[in-house]
Chains A and B, each alone.
Chain A
């Protein structure tokens, strides 16, 4: 059994079948398993329902204060079989990790274990109200505390703010902690430095927090230009926002030196933890002098991306920033009881836990954060354990380097000379034929059955392609992807015009985004309306 696929079977398109998939048109628009589906507004009616509830008793007393709704809302209903079929048919027009390889750089599209889903649905987690008396939710608070302990330990940090709802919300949390800490010492600083390769949320976050954003240039190795950074530091710089590993997929070897320089100048270091999957279990950001870092539980810790959220973005904090973190937080007292520290108890808990005053900058969200993600992430951590998480980062990095080295002879890899990459490999479109772009290549990969890599990010590389395989892919999957990737790259370099109209085999061909933006149609309108 140590030689899988003894027969040597390979997927292929038999000779003579080219063009066959166009086929004749059908009356339904369907093509066998590729099924078209109308909108619920076109198939449902306002008097159809998929639930069984009592009829409204018109004579029952009403306490609605004269606000009873009379006009029709216009919400279509479907009976259960029709509803299940509608969404099942829609689902089949989606690509997901469960379906195939999804190397979307900086998004960490790893397998989502189903044990996580099972645990999150235990009634003791799923069916618990956030404002239930704390005596009745000790297990839920226990989950938060246990997860907090894992996050603090894995990152070598002092504290963690659990409540941020997503990565960008976590970034905001970190920057607000920094601003609160600076204000507490009466130090009004105005500038946040952000590398030019940074994710768009970094400058947006800093600007929101009231800071002026300045770019830090990159050096020819794709890393932060240390000298330029040091030269810019001064009494007006509140923080430096760094992504490590950075968005070029490279570790920032000077981060410790950067942190020391920033601290010496009185500023703080924010680390974007989007790429933590590359180093979890092998490197603790706390050892590199980081003051705040958000962790995307939906990336490194396998909670599902769900077609665009919900995410979860706890922020680990240094000792200097911990007292400023947002409410609420959880804390265990000496008697073993876990307490939820909301606005009212914050002062009482200060001394015991921070050796000084808790000075929270306030509340970022109602209730306590993404509990449903905490249970999933904790389940994942317990499954892997400390040893397994180290293997996670190692396999993720190995898979990415394997792709980098397998591609660099055919595809421009601007930083391949810098040494090994971390968990993602970055390429550019330099050698493509005139008129063919990264977008065309990505659409060609769709026809090959893959979800494309991240395109045009980071901005520092022309026509960037950022490939992140993650650790949950087999060598066979990656080998097959490399074969397909190389062939599509060759087509792009050779000027294969069929790429311009790809994808040819997806549920839709290219969509007209210009028309969508010029005449926005964002809500269903009945044909007979104006």
Chain B
């Protein structure tokens, strides 16, 4: 077998060296009832590279790749062009096959990269400190809610109705076990986010207000107004961002007063991958909250010879030291995705990020304008970045399914995200990025025109 270097001769010599007659002697502690012999169920035997690749290719061909479609899906996962050098770097064995940098003298590559990554994320979010990443945006969102509870010693989180419904579900699921109260609501499908309604739900027991920016319908809530209202009641504002490219065009959540900023970093460097692995981003505006943060943190220090170096630090917050008193049970981060994000961000730089954001917004404005001209289609948003909501005279989910047969992935229907809500049946989220062509937009418009006529 190609991944096993021991030969039968080696095995014989080694068994002899350990005083065993055969391999079973090394498994003597396994009780008889649990010993397997012979084939395991219907599992196949080993196979060569060509056979395995062929099998997997056949599975892959049963999927419609985004590149082969006119593609408008978003809702928390965005398709952007990833420069070729990003994938080259993350496939270098020194990054790919390294472990968590517990031996910092031989892990400075990963550590310096994490320090740079933390600094990039902190700046993008308008925050003082970002951690070395979380599993994904949704789990980062829950961790932020839990952290706000620790800081304020209050147990009620107020969630905006326009928070990604999967994120809401994750927070509600986790809160069932911690006893936190989660006040959520359905999104109001209207041109502007319902800030007043959200503010009205903040009370003296509120630990945090959680609001997505841009929100699930693509709108821009006024974070400054929410921050002021939350702070007036002694609560924290948690801002959630699922499209980091947007922050090349719009003000950062930290700048607008959010206390904890979390989000999904997938859009930069990581790729769609059917939903994972993705990259949770987590930052705090004020460094006084650092010791309540979950997850790994990389910090600068010096070595015994006075040279600059980096280490994982403040680990007394973490499970391997604190055990049942840890700030989180998280034991890993999303290291390689953080590297992909950081490399892509370094290639972009401020200039490239702003241009990328500009191009996304330009194409999204064009798509909105053209879709608005299709009879039976109304654009809901007054403001948006690269994703907006349209309402169509028909069952949007059904239309999405039908258009997919012609390789048009028209968007994410609100019914997919909020099943069973009749009022949403005409709602469709349309995402447009720099990978969308004018021709794709025309294709979508004419297909919708035909369906709705």
A1-13 to B contact mask, C-beta < 8 Å, 1/0: 0100000000000
Q: Give the distance in Å from the alpha carbon of A312 to the alpha carbon of B337 in the complex.
A: 13
Question: For the complex, would chain A's binding face be called helix, strand, loop or mixed by DSSP majority?
Answer: loop
> Are the CB atoms of B98 and A522 closer together than 8 Å?
no
> Are the CB atoms of B277 and A372 closer together than 8 Å?
yes
Q: Which of A168, A287, A522 contacts B330 (CB 8 A)?
A: A168
> Are the CB atoms of B105 and A510 closer together than 8 Å?
yes
Q: Closest CB-CB distance, A300 to chain B, in whole Å?
A: 13
Is A368 among interface residues, defined by CB-CB distance under 8 A?
yes
> Are the CB atoms of A91 and B34 closer together than 8 Å?
no
> Are the CB atoms of A405 and B17 closer together than 8 Å?
yes
> Are the CB atoms of A78 and B347 closer together than 8 Å?
yes
Q: Give the distance in Å from the alpha carbon of A35 to the alpha carbon of B359 in the complex.
A: 38
Is B439 among interface residues, defined by CB-CB distance under 8 A?
no
Q: Give the distance in Å from the alpha carbon of A16 to the alpha carbon of B58 in the complex.
A: 60
Also in contact, A387 and B45, with CB within 8 A (given A135-B404, A395-B4)? yes
> Are the CB atoms of A124 and B65 closer together than 8 Å?
yes
> Are the CB atoms of B304 and A98 closer together than 8 Å?
no
> Are the CB atoms of A510 and B304 closer together than 8 Å?
yes
Is A203 among interface residues, defined by CB-CB distance under 8 A?
yes
Q: Closest CB-CB distance, B99 to chain A, in whole Å?
A: 5
Q: Give the distance in Å from the alpha carbon of A346 to the alpha carbon of B247 in the complex.
A: 37
> Are the CB atoms of A343 and B23 closer together than 8 Å?
no
The closest CB in chain A to the CB of B320 belongs to A200
Is A349 among interface residues, defined by CB-CB distance under 8 A?
no
> Are the CB atoms of B275 and A130 closer together than 8 Å?
yes
Total interface residues in chain B, CB < 8 Å: 211
Q: Which of A88, A111, A404, A510 contacts B92 (CB 8 A)?
A: A88
> Are the CB atoms of A511 and B303 closer together than 8 Å?
yes
> Are the CB atoms of A446 and B105 closer together than 8 Å?
yes
Q: Give the distance in Å from the alpha carbon of A64 to the alpha carbon of B420 in the complex.
A: 31
A300-332 to B contact mask, C-beta < 8 Å, 1/0: 001011111111100000000000001000000
> Are the CB atoms of A75 and B353 closer together than 8 Å?
yes
Q: Give the distance in Å from the alpha carbon of A45 to the alpha carbon of B420 in the complex.
A: 50
Q: Closest CB-CB distance, A273 to chain B, in whole Å?
A: 14
Q: Give the distance in Å from the alpha carbon of A247 to the alpha carbon of B361 in the complex.
A: 53
> Are the CB atoms of A64 and B63 closer together than 8 Å?
no
B51-65 to A contact mask, C-beta < 8 Å, 1/0: 111011111111111
Q: Looking at chain A, what size class is its interface with the partner chain? A: 35 or more
A208-228 to B contact mask, C-beta < 8 Å, 1/0: 111001000000000000000
Q: Which of B49, B90, B278, B335 contacts A308 (CB 8 A)?
A: B335
> Are the CB atoms of B109 and A92 closer together than 8 Å?
yes
> Are the CB atoms of A501 and B46 closer together than 8 Å?
no
Q: Which of B151-159, B199-207, B231-239, B292-300 has 4 or more CB atoms under 8 Å from chain A? A: B292-300
- State the total of A-B contacts with C-beta under 8 angstroms: 716
Q: Give the distance in Å from the alpha carbon of A126 to the alpha carbon of B305 in the complex.
A: 45
> Are the CB atoms of B384 and A63 closer together than 8 Å?
yes
> Are the CB atoms of A136 and B349 closer together than 8 Å?
no
Q: Which residues of A contact B14 (CB under 8 A)?
A: 398-399, 401-402, 475
Is A282 among interface residues, defined by CB-CB distance under 8 A?
yes
Is A433 among interface residues, defined by CB-CB distance under 8 A?
no
Those of A38-59 within 8 Å (CB) of chain B: 39-41, 44-51, 53-57
Q: Which of A69, A168, A472 contacts B247 (CB 8 A)?
A: A69
Q: Which residues of B contact A493 (CB under 8 A)?
A: none
> Are the CB atoms of B31 and A256 closer together than 8 Å?
yes
Also in contact, A97 and B93, with CB within 8 A (given A204-B319, A442-B103)? yes
> Are the CB atoms of A50 and B43 closer together than 8 Å?
no
> Are the CB atoms of B40 and A391 closer together than 8 Å?
no
Is B220 among interface residues, defined by CB-CB distance under 8 A?
yes
Also in contact, A50 and B42, with CB within 8 A (given A64-B250, A366-B170, A506-B105)? no
> Are the CB atoms of A153 and B11 closer together than 8 Å?
no
> Are the CB atoms of A512 and B4 closer together than 8 Å?
no
A70-99 to B contact mask, C-beta < 8 Å, 1/0: 111111111010011011101111111111
Q: Give the distance in Å from the alpha carbon of A510 to the alpha carbon of B5 in the complex.
A: 34
Q: Which of B2, B274, B416 contacts A137 (CB 8 A)?
A: B274
> Are the CB atoms of B63 and A136 closer together than 8 Å?
yes
Q: Which of B96, B314, B353 contacts A112 (CB 8 A)?
A: B96
The 10 A-B pairs at the shortest CB distance, nearest first, are namely A77-B349, A65-B383, A124-B60, A98-B93, A367-B275, A362-B173, A306-B336, A139-B62, A130-B275, A344-B419
Contacts beyond the supplied A307-B107, A378-B56: 19 A-B pairs with Cβ under 8 Å = A78-B349, A95-B106, A102-B99, A124-B60, A124-B65, A128-B274, A130-B274, A131-B75, A136-B63, A153-B40, A169-B135, A200-B323, A208-B329, A306-B95, A308-B333, A365-B139, A383-B46, A442-B103, A523-B118
A-B contact pairs, 12 of them (CB 8 A): A37-B112, A96-B93, A99-B93, A165-B276, A203-B319, A210-B178, A256-B34, A307-B96, A307-B101, A365-B135, A368-B276, A405-B19
